[in-house]
């Protein structure tokens, strides 16, 4: 029993160590699983750097265009045009890195696709039919059609691109929600999942909180990017009019989204986890043992799996119980109450991902709050330290979004479909690890190139700045 | 229900080949025949606003395959692992070649992305032809050696090639002399198709040159198509049994040859769109004839131990398939509206679209 527990807890990390540090050869199946997971993790992490900006930024561009239609102030239109240039490159990166995601369900996760395709195939096919066609048809019109269409129709094409990207997010999260909390299915004798209630896919209690949480997080990314560019222009004394416009808009969007992402949406997502995946919740929060009289909230500490405790812990008593159940002494189950073979495979990874997300989220609220106060007092544009802080904040919403998704995905392990289908049962049976490593290396090289190109081109656009209107 | 989704899937794939096919063809023309900056501009203007939406047909068809025939999706995507991932890489190069070229005005930068776009288009046309060849030839389902399956009966894995390059070997590869023949047919057919699109959508100085290129290439295409029909007999002893059983299916080969012979008149067409119409007919007829000849097989088995994959043993469960019809019909209507709007706005000659200019 003890040996088995040890094996499961360490499975994820052991394979990693074995391959990279010790050179010990795991079994061929473990090897295949490892590289399949690595490739998916790498390609999805890189991919999602782009759609999070696409979704948030499309909203802000539509907002700029809308303000222009309402006020006829030319700078709003120029702002929309400026961000559209960045949007175009960002969108293209999202598309080209997104297609490999759909393919990989079949190439690397064939068994998973075979068993669940009748269900998740629905939502994924709907994504292609409802959102990709919408986005791709109107993106061309949006990017090249301003003169051809006039401002009102141009606004509408922008809105349709925004709608398409948000619909895409919705259908992806519907798919994700089914994997986290399967509904509306039955399992046949041959192990296949078949749909018996289409509506249940969309009334899944997991779906709405996760969707709103995710969309707000993507607005945070866009808001921080927009305000950072604004701060850059002001600190640089270039394009100051636009700098002010970007800062004002970015800070307002940023404040609202940072607050809403934590409460109520983040809170609702956490409540779903506590209710449906209590063992994941225990691992996320770093609770090894159930605490009598209410659980403390851990701010800092390193999970020590060997001794089943947190090292160097700083915690506040009873807060977690209150946040979770609104009762100071409510009991929250620790890892000790669950079977070790249901533990998330990488407990420290999950714990850190979650804490980084929450920590950064708190900083976002604080910074945007201060910036908003200064904006209200009409002092934001001269408060240098806030401008510097906003400028340096750019990578962090990306990190928070990524770690947020790591929390969801590592939290679901060792399952593909929670409690029903293990990750190890989902891989392609005939694709050897050597072939997967080959393609993984290819993706790493190619994406490195894409990342560099993106930075160079977007850097160039930002440096050049929006077109200033000559009076 | 299976039959409905099968027809839907095949229609989507055919639309994909006709639409993205002209993008690939334009890329090949760009690589070999566009000498001046003006020629290149004409080509990218002709496909610029469309290629992205065209590519979506592949993704959407993939989605429908996943949803309606999940087992086939799983088996074929994992079995054709390497070429599929390479197609992904090529699609990435094609896309960034087109999108990034105009971002920096520098000779070296432009040359790099021109070549990326052209070479990726060429290889994609070749790969898609090879893919069709693999589906016709079939694979060693279950990876049988001496009558014993190494895997479940529908799973397989193909390396890029086997040392003999023979389509009759026990352990097959993706590339053999039969599939490479179809690959070359794919390249020539799409080059013609792309050239027709450029003639249709631009007033480029390239157009008259392209017409004579199409005329010459068409002889090669005809010769290779006839050759492949002879070879087909080696791969599949009875390629016509569906046609004999259901005579109306002959309509598809007739369409193919109408398109093919019609293209010989390319130099005298009054309307610029006629050539594109005939090359579309050829592609449509070619794909539908192939599909009709192997129906209801989706992927034939080359061994006698495991059965062919057919639309009947691969389909998803019937509740999901029937409910899918509802949203699919709504979606198709919407897609038709989008495409109408898109092609209306960008109708006629597109020499002045200014694609990729910043």
What does the pLDDT profile of chain B (358 residues) look like in tens digits?
889 999 999 999 999 999 999 999 999 999 999 888 888 888 888 888 788 888 999 999 999 999 999 999 999 999 999 999 999 999 999 999 988 888 888 999 999 999 999 999 999 999 999 999 999 888 989 988 888 888 899 999 999 988 888 888 878 889 999 999 999 999 999 999 999 999 998 888 888 888 889 999 999 999 999 998 888 888 877 778 888 899 999 999 999 999 999 889 888 888 888 889 999 999 999 999 999 988 888 998 888 888 999 998 888 888 989 999 999 999 999 999 998 988 888 877 777 666 655 4
Preferred mutation among B56, B298, B348 to probe A, highest tally of A CBs within 10 A = B56
Q: Is any Cβ of chain B less than 8 angstroms from the Cβ of A132?
A: yes
* DSSP 3-state of B139: strand
Of B60, B143, B327, the CB nearest to A132: B60
A2: Cβ contacts below 8 Å, ≥ 6 apart = none
Phi, psi of A313 (to 5 degrees): -80, 135
Place of tokens 């190139």: A449
> Distance from B66 to chain A by nearest Cα, in Å?
5
* DSSP 3-state of A194: strand
Q: Is any Cβ of chain A less than 8 angstroms from the Cβ of B142?
A: no
A248-272 mean pLDDT? 94
Q: For residue range B236-294, list pLDDT tens digits in order.
A: 777 788 888 999 999 999 999 999 998 898 888 888 888 899 999 999 999 999 999 88
Share of chain A above pLDDT 70, in %: 94
Cα B265 from chain centre: 24
List B residues 9-68 in contact with A (Cβ-Cβ < 8 A).
48-50, 52-53, 55-56, 58-60, 62-64, 66-68
Neighbours of A139 (CB within 10 A): 27
User: Does A15 have pLDDT greater than 80?
Assistant: no
List B residues 76-95 in contact with A (Cβ-Cβ < 8 A).
76-79, 81-82, 84-85, 88-89, 91-92, 95
Closest by alpha carbon to A349, among A426, A403, A388?
A403
Q: For residue range B288-332, list pLDDT tens digits in order.
A: 999 998 888 899 888 888 899 999 888 888 898 999 999 999 999
User: What tokens appear for A161 in the block?
Assistant: 């691109």
Preferred mutation among A122, A194, A458, A463 to probe B, highest tally of B CBs within 10 A = A122
Q: For residue range A89-121, list pLDDT tens digits in order.
A: 999 999 999 999 999 999 999 999 999 999 999
Give, as one character, the DSSP assignment of residue A470.
P
User: Does A34 have pLDDT greater than 80?
Assistant: yes
Preferred mutation among B12, B16, B86, B103 to probe A, highest tally of A CBs within 10 A = B103
Cα A3 from chain centre: 35
Q: Do B95 and A138 touch (CB under 8 A)?
A: no
Q: Do A431 and B70 touch (CB under 8 A)?
A: no
Query: Taking a C-beta distance cutoff of 8 angstroms, is the pair A163, A134 a contact?
Result: yes
Give, as one character, the DSSP assignment of residue A289.
S
Of B64, B77, B338, the CB nearest to A110: B77
Please, what sign has the CA dihedral across residues B334, B338, B343, B344?
A: positive
A223-230 mean pLDDT? 96
Q: Return the axis-axis angle of helices A74-107 and B70-79, rounded to nearest 10°.
A: 80
> Distance from B267 to chain A by nearest Cα, in Å?
33
Preferred mutation among A85, A88, A140 to probe B, highest tally of B CBs within 10 A = A140
Closest by alpha carbon to B8, among B223, B252, B304, B329?
B329
Q: For residue range A323-370, list pLDDT tens digits in order.
A: 888 888 888 888 889 998 889 999 999 999 999 999 999 999 999 999
User: What is the pLDDT confidence band of residue A5, given thresholds at 50, 70 and 90?
Assistant: very low
Q: Do A141 and B342 touch (CB under 8 A)?
A: yes
Query: Taking a C-beta distance cutoff of 8 angstroms, is the pair A228, A391 a contact?
Result: yes
Query: Taking a C-beta distance cutoff of 8 angstroms, is the pair B24, B93 a contact?
Result: no
| Domain range list for chain A | 2-290+333-464
User: What tokens appear for A144 in the block?
Assistant: 């090249």
Question: Distance (Å, rounded) from C-alpha B237 to C-alpha B234?
Answer: 6
Residues of A whose CB is below 8 A from B96: 92, 96, 450, 453
Question: Distance (Å, rounded) from C-alpha A197 to C-alpha A204?
Answer: 11
Q: For residue range A77-93, list pLDDT tens digits in order.
A: 999 999 999 999 999 99
> Distance from B248 to chain A by nearest Cα, in Å?
32
- pLDDT of B233 reads 81
Question: Distance (Å, rounded) from C-alpha B286 to C-alpha B16?
Answer: 14
Question: Distance (Å, rounded) from C-alpha B139 to C-alpha B279?
Answer: 30
A461: Cβ contacts below 8 Å, ≥ 6 apart = A82, A85, A86, A89
Q: Do B316 and A103 touch (CB under 8 A)?
A: no
User: What tokens appear for B210 in the block?
Assistant: 């392209």
* DSSP 3-state of A327: coil
- pLDDT of A46 reads 97
Q: Which strand (E) or helix (H) includes residue A416?
A: strand A415-417
Question: Distance (Å, rounded) from C-alpha A457 to C-alpha B96?
Answer: 12
């Amino acid at each position: 029993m003890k040996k088995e527990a040890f094996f499961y807890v360490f499975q994820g990390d052991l394979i990693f160590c074995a391959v990279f540090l010790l050179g010990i050869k795991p079994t061929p199946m473990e090897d295949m699983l490892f590289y399949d997971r690595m490739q998916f993790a790498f390609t999805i992490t890189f991919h999602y750097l782009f759609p999070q900006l696409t979704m948030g930024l499309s909203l802000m561009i539509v907002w700029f265009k809308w303000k222009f239609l309402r006020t006829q102030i030319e700078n709003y239109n120029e702002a929309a045009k400026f961000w559209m240039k960045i949007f175009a490159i960002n969108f293209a990166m999202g598309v080209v890195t997104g297609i490999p995601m759909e393919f990989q369900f079949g190439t690397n996760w064939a068994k998973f696709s075979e068993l669940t395709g009748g269900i998740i195939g629905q939502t994924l096919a709907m994504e292609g039919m409802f959102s990709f066609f919408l986005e791709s048809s109107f993106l061309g019109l949006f990017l090249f059609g301003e003169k051809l269409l006039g401002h009102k129709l141009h606004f509408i094409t922008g809105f349709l691109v925004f709608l398409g990207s948000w619909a895409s997010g919705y259908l992806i999260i519907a798919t994700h929600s089914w994997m986290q909390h399967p509904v509306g299915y039955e399992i046949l004798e041959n192990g296949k999942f078949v749909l018996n209630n289409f509506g249940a896919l969309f009334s899944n209690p997991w779906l709405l909180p996760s969707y709103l949480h995710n969309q707000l997080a993507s607005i945070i990314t866009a808001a921080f990017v927009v305000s950072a560019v604004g701060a850059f222009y002001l600190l640089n004394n270039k394009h100051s009019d636009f700098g002010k416009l970007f800062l004002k808009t970015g800070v307002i969007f940023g404040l609202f989204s940072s607050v809403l992402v934590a409460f109520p949406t983040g809170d609702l997502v956490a409540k779903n986890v506590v209710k449906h995946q209590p063992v994941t919740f225990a691992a996320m929060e770093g609770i090894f043992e159930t605490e009598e009289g209410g659980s403390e909230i851990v701010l800092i500490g390193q999970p020590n799996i060997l001794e089943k405790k947190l090292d160097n812990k700083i915690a506040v008593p009873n807060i977690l119980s209150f946040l979770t159940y609104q009762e100071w002494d409510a009991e929250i189950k620790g890892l000790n109450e669950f079977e070790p073979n249901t533990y998330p495979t990488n407990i420290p990874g999950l714990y850190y991902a979650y804490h980084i997300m929450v920590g950064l989220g708190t900083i976002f609220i604080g910074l945007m709050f201060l910036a908003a106060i200064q904006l209200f007092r009409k002092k934001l544009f001269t408060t240098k330290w806030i401008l510097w802080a906003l400028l340096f904040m750019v990578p962090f919403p990306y990190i928070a979004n990524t770690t947020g998704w790591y929390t969801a995905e590592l939290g679901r392990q060792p399952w593909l479909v929670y409690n029903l289908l293990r990750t190890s049962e989902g891989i392609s049976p005939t694709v050897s690890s050597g072939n997967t490593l080959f393609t993984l290396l290819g993706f790493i090289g190619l994406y490195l190139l894409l990342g560099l190109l993106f930075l160079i081109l977007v850097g160039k656009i930002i440096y050049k700045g929006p077109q200033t209107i000559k009076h | 229900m299976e039959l409905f989704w099968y027809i839907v899937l095949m229609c989507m794939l055919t639309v994909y080949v006709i639409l993205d096919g002209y993008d690939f063809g334009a890329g090949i023309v760009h690589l070999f025949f566009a000498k001046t900056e003006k020629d290149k501009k004409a080509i990218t203007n002709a496909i610029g606003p469309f290629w992205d939406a065209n590519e979506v047909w592949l993704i959407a068809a993939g989605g429908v395959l996943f949803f309606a025939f999940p087992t086939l999706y799983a088996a074929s995507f994992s079995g054709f692992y390497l070429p599929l991932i390479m197609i992904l890489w090529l699609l990435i190069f094609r896309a960034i070649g087109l999108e990034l070229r105009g971002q920096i005005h520098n000779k070296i930068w432009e040359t790099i992305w021109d070549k990326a776009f052209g070479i990726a288009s060429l290889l994609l046309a070749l790969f898609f032809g090879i893919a069709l060849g693999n589906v016709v030839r079939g694979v060693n389902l279950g990876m049988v050696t001496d009558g014993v399956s190494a895997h479940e009966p529908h799973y397989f894995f193909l390396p890029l090639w086997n040392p003999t390059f023979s389509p009759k070997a026990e352990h097959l590869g993706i590339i053999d002399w039969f599939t490479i023949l179809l690959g070359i047919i794919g390249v020539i057919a799409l080059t013609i198709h792309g050239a027709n699109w450029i003639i249709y959508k631009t007033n480029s100085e390239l157009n008259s040159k392209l017409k004579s290129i199409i005329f010459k290439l068409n002889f090669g295409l005809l010769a290779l198509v006839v050759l492949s029909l002879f070879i087909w007999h080696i791969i599949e002893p009875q390629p016509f049994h569906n046609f004999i059983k259901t005579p109306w299916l002959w309509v598809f080969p007739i369409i193919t040859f109408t398109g093919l012979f019609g293209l010989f008149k390319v130099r005298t067409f009054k309307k610029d769109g006629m050539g594109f119409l005939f090359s579309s007919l050829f592609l449509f007829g070619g794909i539908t004839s192939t599909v009709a000849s192997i129906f209801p097989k989706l992927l034939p088995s080359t061994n006698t131990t495991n059965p062919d994959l057919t639309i009947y043993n691969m389909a998803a469960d019937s509740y999901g398939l029937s409910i899918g019809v509802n949203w699919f019909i709504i979606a198709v209507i919407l897609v038709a509206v989008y495409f109408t709007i898109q092609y209306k706005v960008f109708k006629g000659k597109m020499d002045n679209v200014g694609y990729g200019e910043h």
